[in-house]
Structures are given as C-alpha cells and as structure tokens.
Amino acid sequence: MKPIYLKELLPIMQGKVVYGKDVPLIKHVIKVPKRSLLKDHTMYFHVKNKLSLKYSTHFKNLVIITATPHLITHLGDNVTVVKVNNVKKAYWNFIDFYRNMLTIPFIAVTGTCGKTTTKEMVSWIFSKNHNVYKTIKNENDPSRHLDYLLGINSKTEIVVMETAVAAPGHLRKAYQYFKPHVGILTSIGIDHLNGFRDLESYVQEKLSIFKIMDPKGTIVVNGDNEYVQRLNLENFNKKVVTFGMNKGSDFQIKHIEYKDNNMLYKMIHKNKMFEGAIPGVGKHNVYNAIAAIAAANQLGMPLEESIERLKTFPSLPKHVEIVKGVNGSMLIDDTWSSNPTSIESSLDVLKNISHGKKKIAVIGEIKFLGNKTEEVHTLVGNILANEEIDILITIGKDAEHISKQAKRMGIKGNVYHCEHSDKAIQLLLERVDSNTIVLVKTSMYQSHKGLIQKLRQK
C-alpha cells in the first residue's frame, strides 16, 4: 500500500477524530475484525459489534473508523478513533480515493470459462517489457479485492485482475475496487448457480459489465456467445470490441487447427490477416488468446508483438494438460474446474487428439449448482450422448444423473458410475493401455488428487 497520512483521508471519509491525533501514517487497511490481521499503521473500518483493543497495545498507530465510538474499549496511546456517520460510505470513499491515486492501466477479466487462462495470457504479453501485477492463480474471491488493490506498489506498470461472479453484485463490486480501463468477458455458460435464483440472473450478472464499465473504458467480449448476440452493442455508451468466429467480429478468428501439442490460428483485424500459434490444445484456448491479444491492443500493444509473445506462453497445469498415463496410455488432465461449457471444450480436445485410440471420459460431479444440480448434470449427459466415447465413467453422487441421461439418450460406449474415485481408478487400471486416451474432467473442489496421481505414469 502507498502510505497515506490520516489527515489526508479525514475529509474524504467525512470523519472527525474523537480520540487520539490526526497524524498517524496509514500503511495497511482491514475491514475484518481479526487480531491476526493487525499490524503497525493499520486502519480498520469497524461496524456494529464491541471491539476491545486490550491485546493490541504493542502495535504502532492503530486507526479505527467507526460510527459507534462507544463500542471501542481499552483505548491506548497507540490508537486514534475517527467517527463517521456511515462506515460503509466512508470505506467506499476511501477505496475511490485510493484507486484514483493509481494512474496505471487496469485490465479485469470475467467469464464462466477461460478467466484464469486469459488473465495469464494478458499478463504474459505485457510481462516481457513491463512489471505486471495480477491475481494469484484463480484466487479471485471478492474478499480479496481490498488486499489486491493495496498490494499494488510503485514498481507496478500494468494490473490484470481476475474477477469472479458467484453472487449478484460481485462484478459491480469488483469494478468499484479496480475501475478497469479494459474489461474482458470471455464467455457466459452455466456455473456457480447456487448464488443465484436462476440461470437468467447469473447471465444478467455477467452482462452487467456493459452497464458498470466506465464510459471511457473498453469492453472486450466474445461475440460468438449466444447471450451477447442477443444484445444491440451499439446501445451502450462505451467502446465494445468483439472477438470470435462471427463474421462481424472486430478480431475475427478465421481458422483453427490442432498441430502436435499446439493450436494454430488465423485472425483478421481491420482487413489484415494475422497468423499465430499457442502451446497446448483446445479451440477454447484460441478464443482466450484472441481475447488477450484484443485487450492488449486496446492499451497500445501491437498485434504482432502479442501474437509472437503468446507462442511461448507457458501452459497452465490441469488445464487440458497432456501427460503420459499408466500402461503407456495418454492422459488429459483437465481437473482445474468443471461446468458444461468447459466439458464441451475438453471433449472437443479428446476427439481431435485421439487419432483412432480408445477414448475414455471420466467426468466428476459439478459443484455449486444449487437447485439446478439435477438439471445441469442431465444436460451434461445429453452432451456426452452425442460424443463418440468408448467408455464413460462418472464419479460422485450427483454425477449419476450424467450417466443415467447418457444411457437414456443412447450413448454408444459403455457407461459406469462410481460413488467414489477408488472404484473409478480400479476400472481404469483394468482398461487402459498404449492404445487408450483418457480425459479426466473434474474440479479442484473435489478430492480426486489420488485419481490423477495413480493414472499418471510414474
């Protein structure tokens, strides 16, 4: 965090010192009353409950922002109490003030699938010549926004944030923190429905990017997405840049080809053809790459430089990662996350790299679907029924809806359902050989680490 003297913040937060002095230097801000989060020069936004500072006397310069000073007890000489009329308003006034102090470019990435990969691709493009600050892996929970914002330092030149949507208002809150110059919407599918009353409200939360983006900013959006296509993008008073295979896309994907362990592509922008390649497999990764290229271009990065840089992009673990399996088999480790959209993408990979091998798909249950659990798993069963798979293995109680529906819809391969991964491992070890390719599509939220470990070649 860039240090700020309290007296600079008092008019911003509309606060008045009622205990202590206005001279403390703020180097750390928290909004959760945990003693473990306290350190020297901390400002804490206090709400409602009683707060005892009895065991905090060893910290230097603690500043408490509160509407109820009488609830703060055991005040020492190290404490300053600031009274405000509305703590929430004071907090957001501080966030606005602090964010506006930062004049470097911000990029925010959201979407049902591809957030982490696209965020990493954008970061990789800029990291050759810039100091890039980004979210850690997929650690994108809104509770981390404050820490991410304050973690930016004087050396940071580009900020790339991954913003999750697990409940209504999450995207708006993220944009309040980061105020991105470029917002990326990679895709809209089905995920995290437990935080929404229905699919439509989830979709609308994703589409809220068009309302909450600053008019001076740019939205980079997947123009092939069915929900985006329903919108009249000319109705929004901000710049919208589209990517996809749709002929009207600003960054049009003209050709995608699997080539060894790479994806080749051709892209048209402003009537000029560009050709590129990215390590790893999957059509979805070409979409991620074009989204990253388009976003970087909005901040002045030449297309040729982005395309060249992505040729050396380090593939992410557990994102359709191709590894050697037991008994000479080939294994596709796609256990980062799971939803219907990403399952379709991984099945496309299985089909395109199998080259006549026996195909086995191992599909785990999908989490965080709320009352749509059976419906979504049934949908996945429909998807699998249309695939040429020799063996389908489903794992987990809810995943039984997948196997039952695939059977009902006439899937041609053999189908097995396993309550636990141990049974799935046994089935696989008995059936894989050098002429087998196995797709394992589960989620990091499931405890199937042993499954992958036992299927990988030692």
CATH 3.90.190.20 maps onto the chain at 321-455
Residue-wise pLDDT tens digits, 162-180: 998 989 999 999 999 999 9
Q: Which CATH architecture has domain 321-455?
A: Alpha-Beta Complex (3.90)
Please say if the pLDDT value at position 226 is more than 70: yes
Q: Which two tokens stand for residue 265?
A: 């592509």
The third-level CATH classification (topology) of the domain covering 4-94 is: 3.40.1390
pLDDT of residue 182: 98
Distances (CA, A) of 442 to 29, 97, 105, 323, 367: 37, 42, 35, 16, 10
Single-letter code of the amino acid located at 41: H
Burial class (CB in 10 A: 0-12, 13-18, 19+), 356: exposed
Which residues, 6+ apart, have CB-to-CB distance to 207 below 8 Å? 188, 227, 228, 231
Please say if the pLDDT value at position 445 is more than 80: no
- Report the alpha-carbon angle 300-303-309, nearest 5: 105
Per-residue confidence band for 272, with pLDDT thresholds at 50, 70 and 90: very high
372 close to 383: Cβ distance less than 8 angstroms: no
What superfamily in CATH does domain 102-310 come from?
Mur-like, catalytic domain (3.40.1190.10)
350 close to 332: Cβ distance less than 8 angstroms: yes
Residue-wise pLDDT tens digits, 410-420: 999 999 999 99
Helices (H), 354-433: 373-385, 400-408, 421-429
Residue 273's closest CA among 251, 295, 294?
251
Model confidence pTM above 0.85: yes
pLDDT of residue 447: 54
Please give the biggest Cα pair distance in the chain. 76
212 close to 172: Cβ distance less than 8 angstroms: yes
80 close to 72: Cβ distance less than 8 angstroms: no
Residue-wise pLDDT tens digits, 104-154: 999 999 999 999 999 999 999 999 999 999 999 989 999 999 999 999 999
Strand partners, 277: 264
> What is the secondary structure of 8-32 as a DSSP string?
HHHHHHT-EEEES-S-PEE-EEE-S
